[in-house]
């Protein structure tokens, strides 16, 4: 029996629709996070830190209408690049305000891209898991060094149960692979894994940077 081209076309369209829905939901969650941080946190006094924060605010404002108008996965991923840049500027603002060197990397924290870019590497294992080296933000590295768990972003699966952000996508991802990946590419890998698993998701507690 030959392949049914109409069925294949319908399946491809459904896969794109599912991918678009997953990516758009992740982007909306990130925009909510950005909005809350920009509105709830007091602006820094340092001019350089404030300038970085204003860049994050401008990118957030730019991303909102673009996301509403996005009709394809590629369009949402382009918006996600802008959103990820906003998180980078927020991380730079926070570092300057603390009197630290701002991060120069743009690859994401492996535990939650909302934390901004990775700045270091840390070896950690969940309970019952195998130790793995992660590229992560400094705060998560400090938690690991203190014997505590990093602040992992989790997704809630249909039927119950949670899965961590770092467990989805193209795992395992070495530090070198993480450095070579763009932040939006990481979102695409996670959204694809979510679609394969047939999941819906929500942010869990502890996802805030």
What's the pLDDT score for residue 166? 85
Note the pLDDT of residue 168. 73
Quote the mean pLDDT of the chain.
Answer: 82
pTM above 0.95, yes or no: no
Please tell me the predicted confidence (pLDDT) of residue 5.
Answer: 75
Rounded mean pLDDT, 101-120: 90
- Tokens coding 62: 């730019």
DSSP 97-112: HTT-PPP---SBPSS-
pLDDT at residue 180 in the model: 47
Q: Let me know: does 168 contact 110? Beta carbons within 8 Å.
A: no
What percent of the chain has pLDDT above 90?
51
User: Tens of pLDDT along 120-163?
Assistant: 999 999 888 889 999 999 999 999 999 999 999 987 655 566 77
- pLDDT single digits (tens) 12-56: 777 788 888 888 988 999 999 999 999 998 999 999 999 999 999
Decide if 143 contacts 149 (C-beta within 8 A): yes
């Amino acid at each position: 029996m030959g392949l049914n081209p109409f069925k294949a076309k319908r399946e491809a369209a459904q896969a794109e629709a599912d991918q678009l829905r997953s990516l758009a939901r992740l982007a909306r969650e990130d925009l909510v996070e950005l909005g809350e941080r920009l509105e709830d946190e007091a602006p820094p006094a340092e001019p350089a830190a404030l300038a970085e924060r204003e860049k994050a605010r401008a990118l957030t404002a730019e991303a909102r209408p673009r996301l509403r108008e996005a009709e394809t996965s590629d369009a949402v991923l382009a918006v996600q690049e802008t959103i990820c840049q906003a998180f980078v500027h927020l991380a730079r603002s926070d570092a300057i305000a603390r009197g630290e060197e701002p991060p120069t990397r743009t690859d994401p924290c492996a535990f939650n891209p909302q934390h901004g870019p990775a700045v270091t590497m840390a070896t950690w294992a969940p309970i019952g898991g195998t130790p793995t080296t992660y590229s992560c933000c400094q705060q998560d590295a400090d938690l690991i060094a203190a014997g505590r768990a990093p602040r992992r972003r989790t997704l809630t699966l249909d039927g119950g149960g949670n899965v961590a952000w770092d467990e989805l996508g193209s795992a395992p991802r070495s530090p070198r692979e993480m450095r070579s990946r763009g932040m939006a590419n990481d979102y695409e890998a996670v959204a694809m894994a979510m679609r394969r698993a047939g999941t819906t998701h929500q942010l869990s507690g502890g996802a805030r940077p």
